[in-house]
């Protein structure tokens, strides 16, 4: 059993190389068939569960190695977590991997096993996005996010549908049949052909808004130092003044919107009139600002009662024009789950953040309605647009926690997929990058690299009518997955068994 276990660990680790930013997709053509072979040879469900758990644990450990970087912002306090952070997070994620592992072990061999395995993989992904507040990071469909063309079917079947196709196609070499390989090549050709056809549609005209994304590139280990608050704020102000002034000079009759990333302001903009006044003075006349900032609520006795991770709108008169409070909080990062029974708090401060009421759609004077999404709220497929369909999606985030690593690239890939799924432009402002503007088909309109300092200017891309996935959401990949699972677990009749014997003799 030792050798199969080591093989499962090795192939699981290798399969993570297909994820952003490497996108080494060919490795899946070897890693997934190897896993199927190991599961097919497992003598019991317990052994299959152990092999599957090992594969998915290694897959998630390598895919999430970058979380360790967050510990280095306070290494004196968290040094003991360095060797166990990524493996520890991977453990509960590997538990979801038992679903496809046991499905493959239980399903009939051959193409039915591949169908059952593919469907169970996606069922595990769907559950991972819901249970225990949800963590749908590194869904397998994101391996295609290196270009907009292969992402286009997500407008119909979502990222989970891409995962289903990816697992199925990657497992076909396990059948050792040229007929099945040819069928897989045909599916891939149709997939890419659909992507190319869809991208021939002309992009809708851009909206009459000039965006200025401010990427101040503030390192996380200095972000909350008291002596750095004003220098950081002044850096944002200076970049905002340069960016909005240049935009206004180039396009004097066009609304200008500056956007700061998550918790960019060291001061509570909604409550601090002086800081708000300074921000307003940095704006070009008539320009507006959307800034990530914490928001506080005080009780009648003057004591702090609640803190929110918020997005605050400010105009050039220092008036607050809009607020949004993040509603999907990060466990351990923004609040302590289980009543604080596990004493690990990865953020500065001794108070949990409070959750906002719900996802919403905001409006600003002269700016089309948008749905704001703070940090990892963008990773939840089918749950990013408010009840009133917006004209665009805004994601502000602070990926400085993860330094120059795969983390920001994986986060960016999720944002790109939301653009295709929802058929809406996605604007992303990140503290250290990667800031970007995507059109409704996931094409890059503008982008600023990880670790750069400056402003990213561009037109707000046009929106369009909702596609199939945008109208029906996760119901689409769920129904498709259940259908594939049903086919995979259908009993094997005598005629089918005889055909299988004939195929094996060939």
Q: What ranges do the domains of the chain cover?
A: 2-200+472-505, 207-461
- pLDDT over threshold 90, residue 78: no
More confident residue, 84 or 334: 84
Q: How does DSSP classify residue 337?
A: S
**Torsion angles phi and psi, residue 135, rounded to 5:** -150, 70
More confident residue, 264 or 493: 264
- pLDDT over threshold 50, residue 501: no
- Give the model's pLDDT for residue 340: 54
- Mean pLDDT over 446-454 rounds to 97
- Give the model's pLDDT for residue 345: 56
Out of 30-34, 157-161, 405-409, 491-495, pick the least confident: 491-495
- pLDDT over threshold 70, residue 346: no
pLDDT > 70 fraction of the chain, expressed in percent and rounded = 94
Q: Is the pTM of this model over 0.85?
A: yes
- pLDDT over threshold 90, residue 338: no
Q: Which residue has the tokens 């009139």?
A: 273
pLDDT digits (tens, 9 = 90+) for 256-293: 999 999 999 999 999 999 999 999 999 999 999 999 99
Rounded-to-integer distance, Cα 477 and Cα 462, Å: 27
If you count them, how many residues does the chain have? Answer: 506
**CATH for 207-461, options being 3.90.420.10, 3.40.50.720, 3.75.10.10, 3.60.110.10:** 3.60.110.10
For the annotated catalytic residues, the residue numbers are 262, 326, 375
Q: H or E segment at 373? A: strand 367-374
* Cβ 435 vs Cβ 447: under 8 Å: yes
């Amino acid at each position: 059993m030792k050798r199969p276990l080591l093989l499962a660990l090795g192939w699981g680790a290798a399969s993570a190389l297909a994820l952003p930013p490497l996108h080494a997709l060919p490795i899946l053509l070897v890693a997934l068939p190897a896993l199927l072979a190991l599961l097919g040879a497992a003598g019991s469900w317990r052994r299959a569960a152990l092999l599957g758990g090992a594969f998915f644990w290694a897959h998630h450990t390598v895919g999430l190695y970058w979380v360790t970087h967050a510990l280095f912002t306070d290494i004196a306090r968290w040094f003991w977590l360095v060797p166990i952070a990524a493996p520890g997070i991977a453990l509960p994620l590997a538990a979801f991997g038992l679903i496809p592992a046991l499905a493959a072990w239980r399903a009939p061999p051959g193409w039915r096993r591949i169908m059952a395995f593919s469907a169970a993989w996606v069922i595990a992904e769907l559950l991972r996005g819901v249970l225990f507040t949800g963590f749908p990071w590194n869904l397998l469909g994101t391996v295609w996010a290196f270009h907009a063309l292969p992402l286009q079917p997500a407008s119909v079947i979502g990222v989970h549908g891409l995962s289903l196709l990816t697992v199925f196609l990657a497992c076909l070499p396990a059948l050792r049949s040229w007929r099945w390989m040819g069928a897989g090549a045909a599916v891939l050709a149709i997939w890419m052909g659909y992507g190319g056809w869809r991208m021939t549609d002309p992009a809708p005209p851009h909206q009459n808004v000039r965006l200025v994304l401010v990427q101040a590139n503030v390192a996380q280990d200095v972000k909350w130092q008291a002596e750095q608050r004003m220098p950081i704020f002044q850096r944002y102000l200076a970049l905002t003044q340069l960016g909005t002034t240049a935009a206004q000079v180039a396009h004097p009759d066009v609304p200008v919107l500056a956007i700061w990333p998550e918790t960019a302001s060291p001061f509570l903009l909604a409550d601090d009139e002086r800081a708000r006044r300074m921000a307003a003075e940095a704006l070009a006349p008539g320009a507006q600002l959307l800034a990530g900032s914490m928001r506080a609520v005080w009780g009648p006795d003057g004591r702090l009662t609640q803190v929110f991770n918020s997005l605050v709108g400010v105009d050039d008169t220092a008036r607050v024009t809009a607020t949004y409070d993040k509603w999907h909080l990060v466990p351990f990062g923004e609040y302590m789950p289980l009543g604080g029974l596990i004493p690990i708090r990865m953020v500065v401060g001794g108070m949990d953040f409070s959750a906002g009421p719900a996802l919403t759609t905001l409006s600003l004077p002269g700016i089309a309605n948008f749905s704001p999404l703070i940090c990892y709220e963008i990773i939840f497929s089918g749950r990013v647009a408010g009840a009133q369909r917006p004209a665009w999606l805004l994601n502000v985030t602070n990926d400085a926690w993860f330094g120059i690593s795969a983390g920001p690239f994986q986060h960016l890939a999720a944002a790109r997929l939301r653009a295709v799924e929802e058929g809406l432009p996605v604007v992303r402002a990140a503290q250290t990058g990667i800031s970007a503007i995507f059109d409704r088909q996931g094409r890059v309109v503008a982008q600023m690299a990880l670790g750069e300092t400056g402003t990213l200017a561009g037109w707000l891309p046009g929106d369009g009518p909702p596609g199939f996935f945008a109208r029906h959401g996760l119901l689409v990949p769920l129904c498709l997955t259940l259908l594939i699972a049903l086919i995979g677990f259908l009993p094997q009749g005598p005629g089918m068994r005889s055909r299988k014997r004939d195929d094996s003799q060939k």
